[in-house]
A = this chain, B = another copy of it.
Amino acid sequence: MKMLTEMKVSDHKKIIEVGDVKIGGEDLVIMAGPCAVESREQLLAAADHVAKEGGQILRGGAFKPRTSPYSFQGLGEEGLKYLAEARDRTGLKVVTELLDSDDLELVNSYADILQIGSRNMQNYGLLKKLGKLDTPVMLKRGYAATIREWLMAAEYVISHGNDNIILCERGIRTFETATRNTLDLNAIALIKDELNIPVIIDPSHGTGQRNLVSPMAKAGISAGADGVIIEMHPNPQEALCDGQQSLTPDDFSQLVVDLNRVAQAVDKSLAI
């Protein structure tokens, strides 16, 4: 791959450690939780279920990037506090989105993994600041970014000093409208084969439909992903965002069982 010559591949870490959770080895990681932190009650219920089923990392957005300025923008610091409470209670680690460099210190003081969303993948000022931290960064692919652009965005963080990079494929924008995005598993197979850095698959955003999350999670693991990030809501019907693609707790329990079988078929396992 010619893009390899553009990168300092020797600086790339193969396994990222988040406390005692390792991302990139034989044990797959499960990240799950609601799209947005909506209330203390909602988040704690979600966290309890994720922990019970063997997940390692709790997801939940406190700052939400919304296409319209008139949509719900997240609970902000209040949401971060609930995430911290859920962590204390369950032992789960926390991944949450950092939307703006103004909030870097605040979000970094709560998060175990800083998530950079699709729209910010080429926000180079932000990427450079992340390079000065030690906190692991989960860099989602821009919804229309080529694999090369995505890897070069990671290179911004790495070249500025932080080699704790986890990639996340969350679907790209194509002409197809029957699904919310087109999950590009080719990208996962390519990156794992040629660079072997950690990549997580997000079948929730990648499909936009609850009924496709499980088959595509399994497909992502088969293609080589090191874990999944799943939207799950105690009551998807009432979700403030992305309810259509959120699993119910029961769906999630079943997913973990199914995923474990596929994991073993590709010589991986769930740390459950």
Residues on A close to B: CB < 8 A? 1, 3, 6, 65-70, 99-103, 119-120, 122-126, 142-144, 146-149, 152, 155-156, 159-160, 172-179, 182-190, 192-193, 206-207, 209, 211-212, 215-216, 218-224, 258, 261-262, 264-266
Contacts and interface: CB of A to CB of B under 8 A. Distances in A.
Contacts of A67: 122, 148-149, 152
A171 to B, nearest CB: 8
Given A125-B100, A173-B144, A218-B223, A69 B152 contact: yes
A251 B179 CA distance: 33
Contacts of A146: 175-178
A209 to B, nearest CB: 8
B156 A216 contact: no
**Top 10 closest pairs, chain A to chain B, by CB:** A100-B125, A144-B144, A119-B122, A265-B265, A218-B222, A189-B215, A219-B223, A219-B219, A261-B265, A222-B222
A242 B222 CA distance: 24
Contact of A212 (B102, B122, B190): B190
Given A125-B100, A149-B67, A159-B70, A211 B193 contact: yes
A266 B217 CA distance: 12
